[in-house]
């Protein structure tokens, strides 16, 4: 019927019908999706048709500033990425070694101490850097650490972090690898929305910003978990640790602290 007729011509019935039907469907679905359906939702509080189209098309809009609640405490300004400080340079490590002499009284000359202050030898550089930075900005407060950090430059903190991550992890006096893994470490508690500790802190996987916990003092770990639970320590990004610690039982906190202290 249309062999002689050119295909791309409105007089060709195949052309007219297929293009016509496609355009009608596209226009109707656009009208419904971009205008009718958004306007039918009072929650969107749209001011008119153009507003509806922009909203449904996904045009980014600035959130009204007035509604944001500002916290009454300082929050961490460190942006963590998985690749952060993964490639240290030797000069930075050397400078860090000099600076670290100030820290040795509590953290040990080799980054390991029995003073119940954290062992820093072999700690991920990003972790040490973030904590120092948070002490400096006031996002984390500690009577001893805060005055040290206030006067540090950004480079000082980077150097210290690089130095401590360079030091080898040393077996502690509490090592006992035969201690069974508490369930909270391997499987977490899904009903309480607690991920396994090991999925961030090392046994199964390491996530950006999560410290290595092996060999840390049990007293220290327990105190920090309690501080997270009570909300006195709150520089964890998006409340990751506070949400976990709040839902942990005191027995679980004890078990975790003892378990990690005994790990290499």
Partner 1 sequence: MLTNKRLILAHFWLAFAVFGLALVLGAWQMFVRSPLNVWHFDPEFYYRSVTAHGSAMGYVFPTLVAMGFGYAISEVSLERPLVGRRWAWAGFLLVAVGAVVAMIPVALGFASVLYTFYPPMVGNAFYYIGVVMVVVGSWIWVALMPINLASWKRDNPGKPVPLAMFANVAGAYLWGWTAVGAALEIIFQILPVALGLRSTIDAGLARVFFSWTLHAIVYFWLIPTYIAYYTIFPRAIGGRLYSDAMARISFILFLVVAMPIGVHHLFADPQVGAGFKFMHSVFTGLVALPTLLTVFTICASAEIASRLRGGRGAFGWLTALPWANPIMLATALSLVMLGFGGAGGLINMSYQLDSSIHNTQWITGHFHLIFGGAIVIMYFAIAYDLWPHLTGRALESFGLMRTQLWLWFIGMIVTTFPWHYVGILGMPRRMAFYDYANPAVSPQAFSVSMSVIGGLILLTSGILFLVVLIRGQIAPRREGGAYRFAVAVHEPSRIPVALNSFGLWLALMIGLTVVNYGYPIGQLMALSETNVPAVYVGAGR
C-beta closer to partner 1: residue 113 or 165? 165
Q: What angle do CA 22, 27, 31 make, to 5 degrees?
A: 150
C-beta closer to partner 1: residue 146 or 186? 186
C-beta closer to partner 1: residue 4 or 173? 4
Q: How far is the CB of 49 from partner 1 (least distance, A)?
A: 12
Query: What span, in angstroms and rounded, lies between the C-alpha atoms of 224 and 216?
Result: 11
Q: What angle do CA 233, 151, 234 make, to 5 degrees?
A: 10
C-beta closer to partner 1: residue 33 or 231? 33
Query: What span, in angstroms and rounded, lies between the C-alpha atoms of 140 and 202?
Result: 23
Q: What are the CA-CA distances from residue 130 to residues 159, 174, 208, 263 (Å)?
A: 12, 27, 11, 24
C-beta closer to partner 1: residue 86 or 102? 86
Structure token digits, residue 149: 């950090």
Q: How far is the CB of 21 from partner 1 (least distance, A)?
A: 10
8 Å CB contact between 160 and 100: yes
C-beta closer to partner 1: residue 53 or 170? 53
Q: How far is the CB of 86 from partner 1 (least distance, A)?
A: 6
Q: How far is the CB of 169 from partner 1 (least distance, A)?
A: 16
8 Å CB contact between 174 and 262: yes
Q: How far is the CB of 35 from partner 1 (least distance, A)?
A: 8
Binding site for partner 1 (CB under 8 A): 1-3, 5, 7-8, 12, 14-15, 18-19, 22, 25-26, 29-30, 32-34, 37-38, 53, 55-60, 81-83, 86, 187, 190-191, 204
Nearest partner of 123 among 91, 186, 169, judged by Cα? 169
Q: How far is the CB of 29 from partner 1 (least distance, A)?
A: 4
Q: Which residues contact 134 (CB under 8 A, 6 or more apart)?
A: 76, 78, 140, 235
């Amino acid at each position: 019927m249309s062999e002689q007729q050119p295909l791309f011509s409105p007089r060709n019935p195949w052309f007219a019908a297929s293009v016509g039907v496609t355009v009608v469907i596209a226009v109707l679905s656009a009208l419904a999706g971009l205008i009718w359906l958004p306007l039918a939702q009072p929650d969107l509080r749209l001011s008119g048709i153009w507003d509806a189209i922009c909203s449904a098309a996904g045009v980014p809009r600035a959130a009204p500033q007035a509604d944001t609640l500002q916290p009454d405490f300082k929050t961490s300004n460190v942006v963590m990425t998985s690749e952060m400080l993964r490639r240290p340079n030797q000069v930075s490590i050397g400078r860090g070694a000099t600076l670290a002499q100030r820290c040795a009284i509590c953290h040990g000359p080799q980054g390991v101490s029995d003073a119940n202050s954290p062992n820093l030898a072999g700690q991920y550089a990003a972790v040490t850097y973030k904590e120092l930075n948070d002490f400096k900005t006031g996002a984390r407060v500690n009577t001893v650490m805060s005055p040290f950090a206030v006067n540090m430059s950004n480079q000082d903190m980077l150097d210290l972090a690089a130095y401590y991550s360079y030091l080898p992890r040393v077996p502690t006096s509490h090592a006992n690898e035969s201690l069974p893994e508490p369930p909270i470490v391997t499987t977490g508690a899904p009903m309480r929305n607690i991920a396994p500790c090991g999925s961030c802190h090392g046994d199964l996987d390491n996530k950006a910003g999560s410290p290595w916990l092996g060999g840390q003092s049990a007293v220290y770990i327990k105190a920090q978990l309690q501080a997270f639970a009570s909300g006195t320590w709150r520089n964890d990004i998006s409340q990751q640790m506070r949400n976990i610690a709040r839902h942990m039982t005191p027995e679980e906190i004890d078990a975790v602290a003892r378990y990690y202290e005994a790990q290499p």
